[in-house]
Chains A and B, each alone.
Chain A
């Protein structure tokens, strides 16, 4: 007989916090540690920036806090909401769901993100100072309730995704939400400007205070009885979210994860009787249709491409509408950049089948073109027709084939040269939209595509400037060349280095003491590379290429392009400086890791 001990309370918050900290400590090696330091430094800068906003431009405080909230809302969607403490770990503990939820919540706070966010929320008592000591007190209380509310909202979203994203429709809905959010981040100023800007009586200010992130500001500004009521309501909101979360958690741990597979009806269509690249394309098309991660990423790409130009239409700028299809191609390429990584170790079958590498690469290109091509063509033709921008025809018709071919070439080349290992599909956890890959690495791969694919269309763009219709021939030619040539490099590389890719996915990067990899970049270079990836687009695209196109076309609208606000004599130098700055940052970010790792591999081989 076993001794019957009286157990202490299971799932205590204190233990959960210690476990979370232990997990974090153990994961702080190499890449992860550098990423954490970069993330925390960036977060701290933004947090102190928020406090500065409260002091210097208080009218913008609700908007700034709404940005923090959107980080908690969209973070789980973009970066997979990786949970350090998975509810599944604790499903066998003898405790009620509510108790486990409270303990998990405590664990969720034992990390850098809530701490950084709390500093940002100290902007509330700082803002409260304007209203006297009571304002500071109310601001402090509101900072605490707002922080808990934001973290809870994030947790509830992760739980909702894990439970309900089980069909193509829900995966696409999440993708559309994400794509719209990215579009709003880049062009959201347009509808705001159209609707009345920073006028504090405008409805947008009301909306920002009604959002959970704005309750603190509302409480600080309100007379104290109303302020107390708002704080009580905030606490009630936390209790409600906690109850919802506990319910979702207990449902999640007893519902089998389905690995992101949509439900099906009927027997699948028989495979086409063919061989080589076409049979590989048939396999790949089925993967696109049956993988919720891929469906979500495609929905993100196309919804961004649609919403991005439409936001500018609110201020009657139609210039982007003809390029909807082209934006869709580039975005779809960016979300397909880790093709081999997302399939995991299934690569072994391609490697064990004599001569299958070529068929596999060509098949993936073909499938991608079949999925993205028709929609991109329709969007381009419809966009150009509807916008009535007749000047855009040679640009659209020339760049369309160039980008399609460039995309088909770049994605397979990067998929075999810059593979980011994830978790094998059948071993993934409760979140159907997470591939388990390192999000920072996947994001920088996507940025690389966003630069490389447009670069393949530069010859076509140059030809269009010389003669409109020469561009179409050039576009078709460079598109075909990119797809063929880059694909050829890709399958050659797969033939020679496929085994290394397989073992990268199976065992992770080989730890070789005398061979430094990107992970071992000196910290100042890692920070530099990350910052370059994060902001190089700003000088290159919106502040460089966009005003250049507008100047060439003679469009007077100055919008937010710095160069166009300067005296004419400074406009071209500024544009050229911005483009050069952007290219320089991308060049640095791409070349430094390559140079450091290749110089070391020469010495060891």
Chain B
């Protein structure tokens, strides 16, 4: 069964097609326990689809996902107890305030009421959501939605955090706060997976990197191994075989 020596996440042969479009094609990833893992890739590479299948929110056409050795699709309940998830673009219980969302989910998970109240207070305060006490989640800004989503992921003190684009639309001050929280979490033995297409951010935070392009893993390993001598951005452009555009056409704009 699960031990600390098992990887935080291991996916083998994950595959998913939407109609004719093969979004994820045979993804093998190993996220070591205690690592801060960055999943990078161009738009539409399959990052979100991979993460959704890894945490049990999207049924794969083929392949397996294990969290600390627990099969996500066989021992679903046990696996879900181990992870905190921030999916990209999903709705929340929109007609509740931030405090109500955390209280509701904490009590629903069966946490003791005093623990729920304590953690809710702290999370709202640290993430600076306590000033919006009367605002329903549906009225939150994009950045506030990310923050309440992060609070939901942290609430039950999971062993693995899976965060899809956690810094998108978040202001620099809040981003710094979130980075500090995540570093503390990882520093104390927690495992974190984030997806992003901001290379500088991944370089700054992560110790392991996986690069996905066209639904396949094109590079994975420690940050130093993947980026080699240059920057992660150079390595990334090299790996995904992209050509930076923008120098041709648009003559009417520059003349």
Chain A residues in the interface with B (C-beta under 8 A): 1-3, 258-259, 261, 264, 266-268, 270-271, 273-276, 279-280, 282-283, 286-287, 290-291, 343-346, 348-349, 351-356, 359, 424-426, 499-500, 502-503, 506-507, 510-512
One of B52-60, B168-176, B180-188, B221-229 contacting the partner: B52-60
Residue among A259, A353, A503 with most chain B CB within 10 A: A353
Give me 28 A-to-B residue pairs in the complex whose CB atoms sit less than 8 angstroms apart, sorted by A's number: A3-B252, A259-B94, A271-B100, A271-B103, A280-B108, A282-B104, A283-B96, A286-B96, A287-B95, A344-B91, A346-B92, A348-B57, A348-B87, A348-B91, A349-B93, A351-B57, A352-B57, A353-B105, A353-B108, A354-B81, A356-B108, A424-B90, A424-B91, A425-B91, A426-B91, A426-B145, A499-B57, A503-B59
Contacting residue for A425 out of B19, B81, B138, CB 8 A: B138
- Chain B residues with CB below 8 A from A276, complex form: 108
| Chain A proximity mask over B54-77: 1 for CB below 8 Å, otherwise 0 | 011111000000000000000001
| CB closest chain-B residue, reference A348 | B90
B215 vs chain A, min Cβ distance (A): 16
Q: By the criterion CB–CB under 8 Å, are A2 and B100 in contact?
A: no
Q: A3-B252, A500-B59 are in contact. Are A349 and B105 (CB under 8 A)?
A: yes
Residue among B91, B104, B110 with most chain A CB within 10 A: B91
- Chain B residues with CB below 8 A from A351, complex form: 56-57
Q: By the criterion CB–CB under 8 Å, are B92 and A290 in contact?
A: no
Cα separation A500 to B56 with both chains bound (whole Å)? 11
Query: Is the CB of B152 closer than 8 A to any CB of chain A?
Result: yes
- Chain A residues with CB below 8 A from B97, complex form: 268
- Chain A residues with CB below 8 A from B83, complex form: 352
Cα separation A500 to B77 with both chains bound (whole Å)? 17
List B69-126 residues whose CB lies under 8 Å from chain A. 77-78, 80-81, 83, 85, 87, 89-97, 100, 103-105, 107-110, 113
| CB closest chain-A residue, reference B80 | A354
- Chain A residues with CB below 8 A from B87, complex form: 348
Cα separation A259 to B141 with both chains bound (whole Å)? 13
Chain B contact patch, size range = 35 or more
Query: Is the CB of B136 closer than 8 A to any CB of chain A?
Result: yes
Contacting residue for A353 out of B78, B80, B100, CB 8 A: B80
- Chain B residues with CB below 8 A from A343, complex form: 91, 93-94
Cα separation A280 to B80 with both chains bound (whole Å)? 19
Contacting residue for A275 out of B94, B107, B138, B145, CB 8 A: B107
Q: List the 5 closest pairs (A to B, CB-CB), nearest first.
A: A346-B91, A511-B19, A290-B95, A344-B91, A345-B90
- Chain A residues with CB below 8 A from B59, complex form: 499-500, 503
- Chain B residues with CB below 8 A from A1, complex form: 255
Query: Is the CB of B128 closer than 8 A to any CB of chain A?
Result: no
Query: Is the CB of B207 closer than 8 A to any CB of chain A?
Result: no
- Chain B residues with CB below 8 A from A503, complex form: 58-59
Query: Is the CB of B242 closer than 8 A to any CB of chain A?
Result: no
Q: By the criterion CB–CB under 8 Å, are A273 and B96 in contact?
A: no
Q: By the criterion CB–CB under 8 Å, are B57 and A502 in contact?
A: yes
- Chain A residues with CB below 8 A from B91, complex form: 343-346, 348, 424-426
Q: By the criterion CB–CB under 8 Å, are A271 and B107 in contact?
A: yes
Contacting residue for B58 out of A258, A352, A499, CB 8 A: A499
A214 vs chain B, min Cβ distance (A): 43
A354 vs chain B, min Cβ distance (A): 4
Residue among B57, B89, B253 with most chain A CB within 10 A: B57
B232 vs chain A, min Cβ distance (A): 30
Query: Is the CB of B5 closer than 8 A to any CB of chain A?
Result: no
Q: A286-B100, A500-B59 are in contact. Are A275 and B95 (CB under 8 A)?
A: no
- Chain A residues with CB below 8 A from B55, complex form: 352
